[in-house]
Structure 1
């Protein structure tokens, strides 16, 4: 993920990102850690994918959302345990 892609993802400008680096170094570090974690895990996040996921989730019943949330949480826990 490039800085431009990151800015698009968090809906901010590249200038804002560089201002954070200069004036809010802790915030900048948090954002950069996220960016590096995404790159390390080779996960490709983008706004279009997120919007599609939310549209699909809205079509599920409450019980279905709870079920799939539990499945996702279980998969994440398995992944953490296997590290």
Structure 2
């Protein structure tokens, strides 16, 4: 999952190298507010999660974006496992 997020960010920012967790989206990659919103919408679609505006402050680095997506995906899995209906 982390690799998928990183690959998307590499493509989005046209970076010719692998991104480390410490890379900052705004300061290092030049993202603006519209970029951040586009990234959120795309990651929501890619992983079937709902990143909330409150999560944006945690997504200012590549590692932070990976962590937020990972946490939301884990919550989604736990929800489906605990709410699964048997036959």
Q: TM-score, normalised to structure 1's length?
A: 0.31
More helix by share: 1
> Which structure ranks higher in relative contact order (CA pairs < 8 Å, sequence separation ≥ 6)?
2
Structure 2 length-normalised TM? 0.30
Q: Rg bigger for which structure? A: 1
